[in-house]
Chain A
Amino acid sequence: MLETSGLTLHYGGSQILHGIDFVAKPGEITCIMGPNGVGKTSFLKALAGTHPRSGGSVTMNGAALPLCRPQDMARRGLSSVPQGRMIFPLLTVRENLETAFAVLPKAEHQIPDEVFTLFPILKDFLSRRGGDLSGGQQQQLAIARALIMRPKVLLLDEPTEGIQPSVIQQIGHVLEYLKAKGDMAIILVEQYFEFAYGLADQVYVFRRGAVSFSGKVSSFDKAVLRAAVSV
């Protein structure tokens, strides 16, 4: 379980996040929604350690996490699928997947079959360069790469952005499968309302760097939630 309380974040002099209280449980998909520029991605960055938070606390399974670097967060079981996918364009698909071995003991340095079951297309493209894949394939690669790290918390930042519907559907299935497995907390930042609504257990709606409201998805009326999220 990942928990934050009063988390704040600054870029230089400007404050982006104003005290976020947030909980994500294993076996659940916690969705963060809201329009552009409200601090969703910044929140994920604060969690992943890519940009240090300026205040507040983060606890994972009850243990408080100090301010630490992204590689330490990765070792603690947090893996992320960032916006724009950020695969390594000049590495092959296999090499991209292998970068995830950094957090695993040497004996486990092999790509589990589960990855290819979830994303069969990657098996065919193992020796292609990551940069040569299409957007949808890159997205699958990025998710696969994050899964190999065997995370306790999985962060996904707009995985459907610029992706064709068939792949979106597939990503949806994967997320449902992972949720059913129940061994990781999934935090999903998403603007594609239908997609997010269909998957999420919990929802947090952000507005101008703060949580405007949150709760179980089932407790909201769909139309009300959509209106709240849109503009």
Chain B
Amino acid sequence: MSALLEVSGISVSFDGFRAINNLSFSIGPAELRAIIGPNGAGKTTFMDIVTGKTRPDQGTITFGERAVSLLGMSEARIAREGIGRKFQRPTVFEDQSVQDNLLLALKAARSPWCVLIWKPKASDLARVQVLAHEVGLADQLQRKSGELSHGQKQWLEIAMLLAQEPRLLLVDEPAAGMTPSEREQTTSLLVSLAKTRAVVVVEHDMDFVRRLNCRVTVLHEGAVLAEGSLDHVTRDQQVISVYLGRG
């Protein structure tokens, strides 16, 4: 199986502090992967590097069948290549309606001129309707997204990611601040998404990771400490000592 995202040997330091240290990582085209690790292990920095927000000091990142290098691409360009990212805090555009948020994310030409003359076709509106339905916001389309509850905002953001139709989805702590039933829903959604695309989930909550039932990568001090099934990594002595309680 050829990898969709291939990260090899990347390092980055901030003011002398090595946030990522010779990290290599790869993920297949339709795979669900959880990344865990203690605070400061470099999880967020890793996402920043893949999405182009941070430029690594060394190493290579390639994406897709043709193995395009992501280095030197702008964030927007990388997003158009098909990498979507969900932030910890829900970042939806609170001043705009749910529908506008979704239309914004819908896959379409992104240049100013194209956007200026773009008008939603019936198929676009239908797609928005479907997406909204999928995340349970079908009857909220005309509401301002700022009025939604925290959980609904999370859902809206996930729907926006789906609208982008990314081939790789990076999700940062999706379950933070969710109620148990919302967590349940999120889990099943992520699992079903991963059938058609690659999904990388960064999470603290072990219960949540367990329910995802997927390969786990443990990061520590900017490098991969262990990789395998959750049971495998939780038996790993190193993992236990740095992450699970040092005892």
Give me the interface of A with B, judged by CB distance under 8 Å.
11-16, 35-37, 83, 161-162, 191-194, 197, 226, 229-231
**Interchain CB contact under 8 A, A37 and B245:** no
Contact flag A14-B204 (CB < 8 Å), given A191-B245, A192-B247: no
B89, B153, B234, B246: the one within 8 Å of A192 (CB):
B246
A186 CB, nearest partner CB in chain B, Å = 20
B residues in contact (CB < 8 Å) with A? 38-40, 89, 149-150, 153, 173, 176-178, 204-207, 234, 244-247
B177 interface neighbour in A11, A193, A194, A226, Cβ under 8 Å: A11
* Cα–Cα distance between A12 and B41 once the two chains are bound (Å): 26
Q: Please name 12 further chain A to chain B contacts, defined as beta carbons within 8 Å, in addition to the given A36-B39, A36-B205, A230-B245, sorted by A numbering.
A: A13-B153, A35-B206, A37-B204, A162-B40, A191-B246, A193-B246, A194-B246, A226-B245, A226-B247, A231-B206, A231-B234, A231-B244
**Chain B residue at minimum C-beta to C-beta distance from A15:** B177
Q: Please give me the residue from chain A that is nearest to B183 by CB atom.
A: A208
A-B contact count (CB 8 A): 48
Cα-based distance from A4 to B41 in the complex (angstroms): 33
B245 near A36 with CB under 8 A, answer: no
Query: What residue of chain B has the Cβ atom nearest to residue A207's Cβ?
Result: B207
Find chain B residues with CB under 8 A from A191 CB: 245-246
29 A-B residue pairs with Cβ-Cβ distance under 8 Å, sorted by A, are: A11-B177, A12-B89, A12-B150, A13-B153, A14-B150, A14-B177, A14-B178, A35-B204, A35-B205, A36-B38, A36-B204, A36-B205, A37-B204, A37-B205, A83-B39, A161-B38, A161-B39, A162-B40, A191-B245, A192-B246, A193-B245, A197-B247, A226-B245, A226-B247, A230-B244, A230-B245, A231-B206, A231-B207, A231-B234
Residue in A13, A191, A193 whose Cβ sees the most chain B Cβ within 10 Å? A13
